[in-house]
Amino acid sequence: MGSAPDGLRWTNGNLGEVVVSAKEIAGRVAELGAQVSADYADDPPLLVCVLKGALNFMSDLMRAISLPVEVDFMAVSSYGAATKTSGVVRIVKDLDTDLGGRTVLIVEDVVDSGLTLNYLRQYLGARGPKSLEVCALLLKAGEQRVEQSLRYVGFTIPSDFVVGYGLDVNERYRNLDAIYTYVGEA
């Protein structure tokens, strides 16, 4: 763990410590891809990317999976411009794919309270998938208000608000290749 490099002056001092480095992310995504490939060898999943935060993770994960996976995207909102979830989930963009009888793997950026993921599971589960599992890049330790069963977890991190590798605040910092604590104002 270390501070943001000098090349990130555009972040205006809003980044704290590195929580997960780019090298750690790449290694863990490769491991997750290999595990998904082994677990789903006989029934490749439809990967459902939860936009926008999971886009970087999904992009790297699908390339690490050695199966003919399909992808679809949905966008939900529970944060707005805040750094804490509101607990109110709003579907911003729904899936284009019929989930009936499909093997589905939700690709999520971060699970904190678990309320959004719980809502998504119920919402997508009502569409009759054969199976519905979750691959989350980050799990915030001790933040869950809803019991979660996550098939795959990249990293368990402290409950600090984080940005980078797809995660943002006010649509900024998604393009960072590592994950940092966010110490600026929301």
pLDDT band at 156 (very low <50, low <70, confident <90, very high): very high
Task: Quickly state the pLDDT bin for 5 (edges 50, 70, 90).
Answer: low
Strands in 70-77's sheet, in edge-to-edge order, are: 90-93, 70-77, 46-51, 103-111, 131-140, 152-157
Distance set, CA 67 to CA 34, 36, 43, 63, 97 (Å): 10, 9, 9, 9, 19
Q: Which pLDDT does position 120 carry in this prediction? A: 93
Q: Is residue 138 part of a domain?
A: yes
Q: pLDDT for 17-69, tens place per residue?
A: 999 999 999 999 999 999 999 999 999 999 999 999 999 999 999 999 999 99
**Low-confidence winner among 76-90, 109-123, 151-165 (lowest mean pLDDT):** 76-90
Q: Where are the alpha helices (DSSP H) in the chain?
A: 22-39, 55-64, 115-125
Domain count for the chain, please give it: 1
**Residue numbers annotated as active site:** 112
Range of the domain at 149: 23-158
- Residue 72 lies inside a defined structural domain of this protein: yes
The answer to whether residue 98 is domain-embedded is yes
175: in domain? no
CATH classification of the domain holding 46? 3.40.50.2020
Q: Is residue 139 part of a domain?
A: yes
Confidence of residue 131 (pLDDT cuts 50, 70, 90): very high
